[in-house]
């Protein structure tokens, strides 16, 4: 697929985001045909067509934990940390639209961020419905990650994230 086709797909995605009143912006990315950040409740989710992928896009985000969330994690004993990571991994693996995830820097000892992305959405399956379903699935994975941390650490509604999920 040529650059012109990637440009047409980029325009189509931006039009869909605008039609649904999503705040978005394009960011420079030398490794991508395009990289559009779509915002849900001030959280940015990148919609990317990588240069080495000629007919697919994926959605990803890097969840950076707040100092308060890191403190919750650090307050857990070793067994709770292990339980958190096992539960998190299994839930992320069982989500049908999610692809890659990477817990950084050294799970289960240390945590400061988690990269979560979707499986590729190939051009022949790229519809407005599919794009938004996958975008919301990645967003739900972020919410689940934070809420699971709060639950397993014994926190009492400390999140700056909303306590409900609405799409």
Q: Which domains does the chain have, with CATH numbers?
A: 3-153 (3.30.1460.10)
Please provide the DSSP assignment of 108-137 as one string. Answer: TTEEEEEEEEEPPEEGGG--HHHHHHHHHH
CA atoms within 13 A on the CB side of 85: 18
Query: Could you tell me the maximum CA-CA distance found in the chain, to the nearest angstrom?
Result: 53
Q: Give the predicted TM-score (pTM) of the model.
A: 0.90
Q: What is the pLDDT of residues 58-100, one digit of tens each?
A: 999 999 999 999 999 999 999 999 999 999 999 999 999 999 9
Nearest-Å Rg of the Cα atoms of the chain is 17
Q: What is the pLDDT of residues 104-114, one digit of tens each?
A: 988 888 899 99
| Tokens 């969330």, residue located | 69
Q: The tokens of 25 are what? A: 């912006």
Q: What is the pLDDT of residues 19-67, one digit of tens each?
A: 999 999 999 999 999 999 999 989 999 999 999 999 999 999 999 999 9
Length of the chain: 167
Q: For the residues 133-143, what does the mean pLDDT come to?
A: 97
* pLDDT confidence of residue 159: 53
């Amino acid at each position: 697929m040529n650059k012109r086709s990637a440009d047409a797909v980029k325009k189509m995605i931006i039009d869909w985001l605008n039609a649904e009143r999503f705040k978005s912006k394009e960011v420079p990315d030398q490794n991508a045909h395009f990289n559009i950040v779509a915002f849900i409740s001030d959280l940015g989710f990148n919609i990317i067509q990588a240069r080495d992928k000629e007919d697919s896009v994926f959605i990803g985000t890097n969840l950076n934990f707040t100092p308060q969330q890191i403190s919750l994690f650090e307050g857990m004993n070793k067994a709770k940390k292990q339980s958190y990571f096992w539960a998190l991994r299994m839930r992320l693996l069982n989500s049908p639209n999610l692809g890659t995830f990477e817990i950084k820097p050294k799970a289960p000892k240390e945590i400061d961020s988690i990269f979560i992305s979707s499986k590729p959405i190939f051009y022949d399956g790229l519809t407005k419905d599919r794009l938004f379903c996958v975008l919301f699935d990645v967003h739900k994975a972020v919410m689940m990650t934070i809420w699971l941390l709060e639950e397993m650490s014994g926190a009492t509604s400390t999140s700056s994230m909303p306590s409900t999920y609405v799409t």
